[in-house]
Chains A and B, each alone.
Chain A
Amino acid sequence: MIRRLLIANRGEIAVRLARACRELGVESVMVYSDADANAAHVAAGDRAVRIGPAPAVESYLHIAALIDAARSSGADAVHPGYGFLSENAGFARACADAGLIFVGPPADVIARMGSKIEARRIAMAAGVPVVPGETPSDQSDDGVLAAIETVGLPALVKASAGGGGRGMRQVHALAGALAAVQSARREAEAAFGDGTLYVERLIQQPYHVEVQICADTQGHVVHLFERECSVQRRHQKVIEESPSPHVTPELRRRMTSAAVRAARAAGYVNAGTFEFLVDLAGGVRDNAPFYFLEMNTRLQVEHPVTEQVTGVDLVRAQLLVASGERLPWTQGALTQRGHAIEARVYAEAPAQGFIPQAGTVLLYREPSSPGVRIDSGIREGDVVPVHYDALLAKVIATAGSRTQAIDRLLAALRSFPILGVHTNLPFLIRLLDSTAFRAGQMHTGYLDAEGAALAAEPNEPPPAFIRDALDAADHDLTPSAAGASAPAWDPWMRVRNWSVR
């Protein structure tokens, strides 16, 4: 078993990993940059090692500095968390070369699944559907039209060389296909000097559903059901939940068995996630088409929703598997119970285009109630540095039904004061309480297309009694107040006054 684990990360995930270590009796070693010397995660571990200056490339992305930290602290294993070096095959290899256990898949598996082309090939070979598409060898009008018929409608014709929407045409009926092909080719030639066209099936308003899998070195592979992550802003997930409101038991069986097949085909070890696009144009149903998107060869930000509905600790399983032990559960022992929803709390200003915010957190009070889990990496008085991702906390509500979980999460978010830096909490509250979210109708493009109204701060003045609280605060908070009396509720202040007399 791993004895001492270097946590090559920061923030909430470093704190969360240290928690699993404590439960397993594994010592945790935190690393920190100069910007994080007093950060919450540093205090959450058993040891802490400075790895470099504030910029991530000189600290949390600096492979040599991390390996040195592992060596000097006597760690025998490294957990990369998510982001930073978590999907860097070179880091996994450097750990192995240094005789350290890398908590994740082997370096060659990371490299293989990190290549879009290679991952797509492995998925297809395992019989997992991918978004149908091809670059027709015959690039004449007739050749591209034939490819459209093969791929199926609706289709997207796009510049093989391009991106950014130029040289891109949607084809919804064969009647308009020829005009679309010709204008796409003209635009592709003009924009990229290359008129080669690629044709793929257009998934309109797709839903993002992913399957958590876990595999050990003895060849056991299990899935831990699905997560719904369609609520995204510019491809960044905002809300995640499990189970997905769009997945029927039969669709779940098809998707999870596809993920397990693909994991076996990839020779996968440790925790990983298969991301799929689900086409619900035909409605929520057993035979809804789904397509492999990509694989994440690491623990995900949203792993807590899976833990909440299955009752397992994924990090514990990761550490056991990395130590060469068997998976702690068989497929038959895993069940999905209740409903969990996670909201990501970021230091950002939704009303100003979601600009990340930095600064001192003057007041921070986590709510505490049954069924609410908070994974956080910030404390009152801490500084949110400008150098890194501004995720402050994840709030996860678990309840018997989706509606109850939404209400529970809303109640928790409304009683979660974070002051001093702007956060997306007011936005999250409006989002969760919206008709579209409650109805489960937010596809991956929803927020970018229609989220502006949710992002805007309502122009309502504060209620009148806010001023009364402010007056009281003026009285309590203002220093050197001539004649300011001690707050009557505080016995120590009373004692001081009394003793002075």
Chain B
Amino acid sequence: MSNSPLVTRIGPGAYRVEIDGRAEIVHVTGAPGHRWVHWRGRVFERPFAADEPAVRRSTERHQSLSAPMPATVLKIVAPEGTQVRTGDTLLILEAMKMELPVRAPADAVVRAVRCREGELVQPGTTLVELE
């Protein structure tokens, strides 16, 4: 992540994204499962085609993963206490007849699983906490 853009929040829903010294203003709003994005007169709606469940950033040492859209928990792959590596599948969601694997964003230990198999989860619901 050496050339990672610098993102600064400049107001409610407004972000300044700096890429190679050039700044772009991006506006974001909407529920986690249905984001609306504006950039230079263009409008995008998320989820984009190849989206995977969102990873929530955290300044803390632990991270939590949340559902990106209304979905059913199909299978919990990594129960509490499992040591996982980056990219390992933690659980599988099903939404709009498609399976969405939720993967580990970093090497971690599963501290808590906040959902059950078969449960209908809403956008933003925390699914797994990692440490």
Contacts and interface: CB of A to CB of B under 8 A. Distances in A.
B118 interface: no
Contacts of A469: 7, 15, 17, 26, 28, 37
Contacts of A22: none
Contacts of A477: 13, 28-29, 32
A465 B17 contact: yes
A50 B56 CA distance: 46
A165 interface: no
A485 B59 contact: yes
Given A419-B43, A466-B39, A481 B64 contact: yes
A480 B56 contact: no
Interface in B67-83: none
A483 to B, nearest CB: 4
A469 B15 CA distance: 6
Contacts of B37: 419, 462, 466, 469-470
A425 B38 CA distance: 11
B30 interface: yes
A136 interface: no
Interface in B35-62: 35-44, 46, 48-49, 54-60, 62
Interface string A414-442: 11111110110110010000000000000
A461 interface: yes
A378 to B, nearest CB: 15
Contacts of A474: 32, 54-57, 66
Given A472-B9, A480-B124, A362 B58 contact: no
Interface in B16-38: 17, 19, 24-30, 32, 35-38
A363 B29 contact: yes
A352 interface: no
A461 B42 CA distance: 11
A487 interface: yes
A480 B126 contact: yes
A470 B42 CA distance: 15
Contact of A465 (B19, B36, B63): B19
Given A362-B29, A414-B40, 17 more contacts: A363-B36, A415-B40, A419-B36, A420-B29, A426-B42, A461-B48, A462-B37, A462-B44, A466-B37, A468-B4, A470-B54, A472-B7, A472-B28, A472-B57, A477-B13, A477-B29, A478-B124
8 contacts: A419-B30, A469-B7, A471-B57, A473-B29, A478-B124, A481-B66, A483-B62, A485-B60
